[in-house]
A and B are shown apart, each in its own frame.
Chain A
Amino acid sequence: MPKTEFSPSIESRPTYPGLTSQGSAPAIMVADAAGAEALVDLVATDASVMDHAHVVLIAKAPELAAKLTALTPKALHEAPDLDAATPLVTQILDTAKMGTQLYLAGSEGVIGHVSALAFARGLPMEAIQSEHRGSIARRMQCVHCKGITEDVTTDPFVCAHCDLTLFMRDHFSRRLGVFQAVCVDAETPGVVPATEEIRP
């Protein structure tokens, strides 16, 4: 699956320019199943990028893990989902050396969440690269109850925490790694527009 092209949006909405090798600098790479292909493509441009790379694969996919292992990273770690990966990624970020490069590939949820973890630990923005692949599902924060709903693909959608019906905004917080969602029928309770699948 190729890199996703998104339609133009507002300034706070993140963009994902794609991965470019920074050579054999220490690296942390985090990808989901779709994003793993972006790492394969990255290595095809410069094999040395794996010399000092910790790769975290967020997927239940042994064949992908084998494919990434074949690229000979310093270490490959597997995690079944984003929640499970968080302590591991946090630990790797906490022990990262100065000059470490962070490569993120996959859905907006993975990129947004891991970027937020990295910012919170003081990784400079210039050290983070990202490439969007696969699902365009979003990680949405309800502005009312503050609960986060993962993998949202429709607009409006129902908050997984407080049950309000929410519409998606493009407004994005890097600190939280989430888009903002707001009650769609706040002024006219019960009057909810038709549900639509989101587009890139």
Chain B
Amino acid sequence: MTMQFNDETFRGDYTYHNSQKAIRRFPFPFDQDAYMYSVNIEQHPGGPEGSPFEVMFDVDEHYVAEMKDREITLAEDPLRCQSLPHMELAGWDLLELIMVSKARDYPELFTLHRDGNDWHWINKPLGIEKKFTFLDPTTLPCGPMEYITRQTQGDFALLHERDGNLWMDAGMVTSQADWSLDFDVGMNFFEWHAPVPKARKMGVFDKALKFLLSVGQDQSYRRLNWTLTVNPRLDTSPETYHKWGPEKRSVTPENVGRKQFLRVELQTFFRLPRSNALAFPIRCYLANLEDLAGQPKWGRRLHRVLRDIDPTLAEYKGFAVNQEMIVDYLSQFDDGAPTSPGIFPDG
């Protein structure tokens, strides 16, 4: 079956929308009726057929529109894509991983022919056909990380391993939940996570770093993270906060169901073969409360999670100011019935 791509925007008139199919496969992040930090790591890929966990790099109906949005963001602010000089090899590793995975998992959309280092890449949805020499940067229009991540949904951080730590030494970041690559590039794992409240004391970062350092070749894992965003805006960057900030205060009891989005990050980890770097894709999925509440289990659970969440986390995730309206709205979907375990919708 050929995939249909939405004609939609993530800014301005915000025409972003989810089909029924996209809602059903949404990576709902809560496996129980309460939330606190955890390392919650699982093997990736692997999951029910049609879910966003099934293949390495999920391609969905938002693909083409998301790549257009990235292009707009990069044109306005080229610092959203940076790679310190020693990270070019990791960029080639990432390019290989993505091209090979996509050509295997979506043969009707992507094709990769390889003859030694002579590669021929065809990306049908974006209308790209490119012959280039693998590991020769002069044969691509930009660096390898930038080249492939302009064609792949989600943000990307490339982490260099040294001194028993991970260093964020390269990245493509245009759909971030309010953090700055330009500021954080070159930081180690603890430094770039420093603004996250509570988690360090809980030992979450020590455990997570230990786990990540032990990820070996041919191993890959995932976890889900989440926040809330007003309007389906991919580019909620600190750089542009003074431009999108006022929208956060535009929520009313009448529009909250359509305007308030759950923003889920599917974070994956891959050890890269030549550079020994870790690739850390952060894929963003957006669905508004109205669409989510269409799945009765999710409506009930989301109400309970957001009602009972630790106030520090509501503040850090930036929705404290709208929390009461959100919880009031969701309460109509919560009849008090028990919910089934796990993240997937019922029926």
Contact = CB atoms under 8 A, between A and B. Distances in A.
Contact of B195 (A146, A171, A176, A188): A171
Interface bin, chain A: 20 to 34
Given A11-B200, A143-B180, A174-B186, A187 B248 contact: yes
A169 B239 CA distance: 14
A94 to B, nearest CB: 17
Interface string A162-199: 00100001110111100010110011110000000000
A143 B239 CA distance: 5
Contact of A146 (B182, B185, B186, B248): B182
Interface in B228-243: 238-242
A1 interface: no
B245 A12 contact: no
B183 A171 contact: yes
Contact of B241 (A11, A12, A175, A183): A183
A182 B238 contact: yes
B274 to A, nearest CB: 23
A189 B241 CA distance: 12
Given A11-B200, A173-B184, A180-B183, A143 B238 contact: yes
Main secondary structure of the interface of B (DSSP, over half): helix
A141 interface: yes
B302 to A, nearest CB: 23
Contact of A187 (B190, B192, B195, B249): B249
B107 interface: no
Contacts of B141: none
A12 B242 contact: no
Contacts of B183: 141, 143, 171, 173, 176, 180
A141 B248 CA distance: 24
B191 interface: yes
B116 interface: no
B192 A12 contact: yes
B246 interface: yes
B238 A173 contact: no
A187 B186 contact: no
Interface string B14-36: 00000000000000000000000
B194 interface: yes
Given A10-B194, A12-B192, A13-B194, A144 B242 contact: yes
Given A11-B200, A143-B239, A173-B184, A187 B246 contact: yes
A187 to B, nearest CB: 4
A180 B180 contact: yes
A183 B245 CA distance: 10
B187 interface: yes
Contacts of A146: 79, 182
A80 to B, nearest CB: 30
Contacts, number: 66
Given A146-B182, A176-B183, A186 B245 contact: yes
Nearest to A176: B183
Contact of A171 (B194, B239, B321): B194
Interface centre among A119, A146, A186 (most CB of B within 10 A): A186
B193 interface: yes
A175 B195 contact: no
B249 A11 contact: no
B78 to A, nearest CB: 12
B245 A11 contact: no
Given A144-B239, A180-B183, A189 B194 contact: no
A141 B241 CA distance: 15
A183 B185 contact: no
Interface string B169-193: 0000000000010111111001111
B228 to A, nearest CB: 14
B240 to A, nearest CB: 8
A12 B239 contact: no
15 contacts: A12-B190, A12-B195, A141-B183, A143-B183, A143-B241, A144-B241, A146-B79, A164-B242, A169-B195, A171-B194, A173-B184, A175-B186, A175-B187, A176-B183, A189-B246
Interface of B: 79, 180, 182-187, 190-195, 200, 238-242, 245-246, 248-249, 321
Given A143-B239, A169-B195, 16 more contacts: A11-B194, A12-B190, A12-B191, A12-B192, A141-B183, A143-B238, A143-B241, A144-B240, A146-B182, A173-B183, A174-B191, A175-B186, A175-B187, A180-B238, A186-B246, A187-B246
